[in-house]
Every structure is written in C-alpha cells, then in structure tokens.
Amino acid sequence: MRTLAISLVSLLCVFSVNAQTMSLDDCIKYALEHNTNIQQRQLAEENQRISLDNTRKSRLPSLDASLGQGWGFGRSTGRDGSTIDRTSSNTSFSIGTSVPLFTGFRIPNQIKSEQYSLKAASENLRLARRNVSVQVVTYYLNALYYRGLVDVQRRQVELDRAALDKARSLYEAGKRPQSEVVSAEAQVALSEHSLTEAAGNEMLARLDLMQMLNLEGDVRQFNIVSIDTTAASVTSAGSLSQPDIVFEQAVANYPSILAAQYNLESSRYQLKSARSGYLPKLSLNAQYSNSYNYIYNMQNMSFSKQLDLNGSEYVGLSLSIPIFDRFQTRNSLRQARLNIESQNTSLVEARQSLFKEIQQAYWNAQKARDNFASAQKANASTSLAYQYEADRYEAGKGTAYDLQQARTRMEKAAYDELQAKFEYFMRIKVLESYLQEE
C-alpha cells in the first residue's frame, strides 16, 4: 500500500512538472520562433543580404595568383642552331590584380536593386510573422470557445440535477407522477453525455493549437490562460472604422504593399543596370610574373639568378567597347521593362487584395457585432422564460415538458451567445491587425 501511494505521488509530481500553461503572448512568441514558414522567410532575407554584400564588394580589386610546372622531352634546336636531344623543366608563377574603374554604372545600380530586394524580403518576413500571429489568435480563441462550452454544459448539468431533485421531492410528496422523475433522470444522463462530448472537443481544440505551434508534449498537460472576452470588453471594441478609412491607414505600412513597392523599385534599377551593356568598361590591371628554367645534363644558371633576370611587371588600363553582343543587351532591356510592368501589376493586385481583405473583415465584424447583440437579447429572454417556467412547475401549474422545452431553448441561446461573442472578438482582432505594424 505504501509503495502504491509513493507511486501515485511520483506520478502526480511528473504531471505537475510536465504540465505547461501558456498565455496568448507566449503562444505567439513560441510560434514566431518555431514556425517553418517564418524560418524560410528568414533564410530568404539572409540570402538576399548576402547577395547585396556580394554586389557591394564587386567594386574591390581582384587578386589572382598562378603557378605552373612543365617538362619538355625530345629533340629541340639549341642556341647555335643545331638539333639536339634535350630534357628540360620550367617553373613559372605570376600574381595579378584588376580594379574596375568604370562599369557603365552597372555596379551602383545593381547595389540599389539589391537594397530594395532586401527590403522586400524583410517585408515578406514581416507579413509571414503577422499571418502566423493571426493564426495563433484564431486557434487560441477557438480553444477558449470550447472551454466556454464546457462551462455552459457544466451549468446545464447542474440545472438538470437540481430539476431531478425537485421532481423526486414532488413525487415523494405525491404531487407529481413517477414518469416525470424518469424523464428528469434521462435528461441528466443526456446532459452529462453532452458535457463529456464538450470536454472532448475542448481537448481537441487545444490539440489543434499545439499542432499549429509545432509544440510537442501531452495535450492533457497543456493548458492556456483565459483572456478578457466579457461582453463589456467585446462591446467596447466596437467602434468600427469604415473599410476605406482602415485601408488608407493600413496601405502605407502593410507588408505586402511595401514588398510590392520595393520589388518595383528594384526592377527599375535592374533596367538601369541592364543599360550598362551599351557603355564601355574601363579597368586598371597590374601583373608580376617570373619563371625558372632547368635543362638536364647542361650547365644552368642558379635559381636566384634566373629570378633576377626573368621577372617582369605590367601595369595598364583596359577599355572594353561593346560593338555587337548578339543582341544580349537589347533583350536584357526588354526583359527588364517587362519585369517593371509585372511588378507594377503585382503592386496593383496587392492593393486590390488588401482592400478586399479589409472590406471583408469589416463586414464580417459588422455582422458578428449585430449577431452578438441579438444573441445577448435571446439569451436574456430565454433565461427569463426558463425561470418563469421553473416557478410555474414548482407551484404545480406547469408541466415537466414545458420546463424541458424552456431549458432547451435557454441552453441553445447560451451556446449561440458564446459563439457570437468569440466570433465578434476574433473579427475585431483581425480588423485591428491591419493597423498594427507587427
């Protein structure tokens, strides 16, 4: 017995250690750190940052070194003109540098293009973070909604049990038939079954949230913190701005719009960079080279002596003037212009899509607000009607059937109000998200 008690205590300790309770902010923070889509966007941003760094460093001089070793065999012509058999080896090395002085403005325009592409990548990352945050809020509120259903169903079980106790007392007093007791018992069983089903749905909602977060662990040990979703707090958020007003406030800072604008600017600098194909290029070149020759079975100068005699230096300017490049520059310009048109169309589509999203979010919030207001009234009226039927039943003037119908209507109204409240709360949060920078 003592061993069993120790085992149970140990098990409870393990559950308490593994239990995890997270707030909405905790869930959002965890999702932003572990979401694979955000990680992909972060890699894309870092890759674009590297591309910009490569373009900037293309202004620097290049430095190359080469080393060669060769052997010669067979007959060759000697210094006196005679043909002799000779085996020789040659060792050579060189080091050179090239500095771009003028590239037809290709490098500065390419740098500008890469800078705007980096900004677009950063905005795409911000958009991904925003979308993930909205998804987390949706799943979080859904889990809270099912938790609320459990509470509503638990109160319903308490009401049905109280009705069963009342039916039994009236039956024992001889004021009600036994059939009403049996009916009340059946209603309690149905309510308890509904409570079990609601608890299972609530656990599945928490599981959906865990899977969305890519959070490992036992869903039975995962819990979330309630947030203020009372009727007063939801109603206070109801000053809904018109869609065009929200759009004008959101369009200046919304990630998808900024990303499209930056991509458009990047394509314009790509066009300027492509024009450099028509301009000459000027570069400064310098090189130093040396070699050592050795002929077998002959007298050779020393290694240091040959290095003194064979060394050579070169410094010069190189001007490349394009004359005919098989229409590559012309076609590059055509592609760049088409890319500008494509990015401009993408910007128009992004603005249209944002306005449609805001418009849809506004009317969804408007509908949810009206639905929530009517659901509040319905719940209040059905609760009053149930209390009236309960008083009539207790006074012996009402029937168990009428009481059951009133209780069913009150239960449905409570469910409808709870659903409407969370729906409205979520719609408000989605609409507000278009005005938030992060």
Question: Got the DSSP string for 74-116?
Answer: SEEE-TTS-EEE--EEEEEEEEEEEEEEE-TTHHHHHHHHHHH
Condensed to tens digits (0 to 9), the pLDDT of residues 369-403 reads 899 999 999 999 999 998 998 888 777 777 778 88
Residue 242 and residue 145 share a domain: yes
Rank 7-16, 153-162, 194-203 by mean pLDDT and report only the highest: 194-203
What integer best gives the mean pLDDT of the chain?
A: 87
Residue 126 and residue 176 share a domain: yes
Condensed to tens digits (0 to 9), the pLDDT of residues 399-427 reads 778 888 888 899 889 889 998 999 998 88
Q: Phi-psi bin for 321: left (phi > 0), alpha (psi -120 to 50), beta?
A: beta
Residue 335 and residue 312 share a domain: no
Region 295-312: what's the mean pLDDT? 85
**Nearest-5° angle of CA 232, CA 236, CA 239?**
155
Residue 206 and residue 302 share a domain: no
Q: How confident is the model at residue 14 (pLDDT cuts 50, 70, 90)?
A: very low
Beta bridge partners of 314: 287
Whether pLDDT at 59 is above 60: yes
Region 212-228: what's the mean pLDDT? 89
Tally the domains of the chain.
2
Residue 259 and residue 162 share a domain: yes
- Report the SS3 class of residue 219: helix
Whether pLDDT at 7 is above 50: no
The enclosing H or E element of 72 equals: strand 62-72
Region 254-281: what's the mean pLDDT? 95
Structure tokens belonging to residue 81: 């003109």
Whether pLDDT at 4 is above 50: no
Q: Looking at the domain assignment, is residue 12 inside a domain?
A: no
Instruction: Mark out the alpha helices in 178-254 (DSSP H runs).
Output: 178-213, 231-236, 243-250
Residue 41 and residue 87 share a domain: no
Whether pLDDT at 234 is above 70: no
Region 104-131: what's the mean pLDDT? 95
Q: Which domain holds residue 379?
A: 21-58+103-279+322-433
Residue 50 and residue 84 share a domain: no
pLDDT of residue 438: 60
CA distance 428 to 418: 16
Q: How confident is the model at residue 223 (pLDDT cuts 50, 70, 90)?
A: very high
Q: Looking at the domain assignment, is residue 13 inside a domain?
A: no
Which has more pLDDT, 237 or 375? Answer: 375
pLDDT of residue 1: 38
**Nearest-5° angle of CA 168, CA 172, CA 173?**
115
CATH code of 197's domain: 1.20.1600.10
Q: Looking at the domain assignment, is residue 11 inside a domain?
A: no
Whether pLDDT at 69 is above 60: yes
Residue 274 and residue 159 share a domain: yes
Region 306-312: what's the mean pLDDT? 88
Q: Looking at the domain assignment, is residue 153 inside a domain?
A: yes
Predicted TM-score of the model (pTM) = 0.82
Q: Looking at the domain assignment, is residue 9 inside a domain?
A: no
Residue 219 and residue 358 share a domain: yes
Query: What proportion of the chain, given as a percentage, has pLDDT over 90?
Result: 57
Residue 174 and residue 72 share a domain: no
Residue 347 and residue 289 share a domain: no
Q: Looking at the domain assignment, is residue 165 inside a domain?
A: yes
Residue 96 and residue 211 share a domain: no
Q: Which of 271, 292, 321 is the last residue of a domain?
A: 321
Q: Say if CB 94 and CB 290 are below 8 A apart.
A: yes
Region 316-332: what's the mean pLDDT? 93
Q: Looking at the domain assignment, is residue 2 inside a domain?
A: no
CA distance 223 to 20: 6
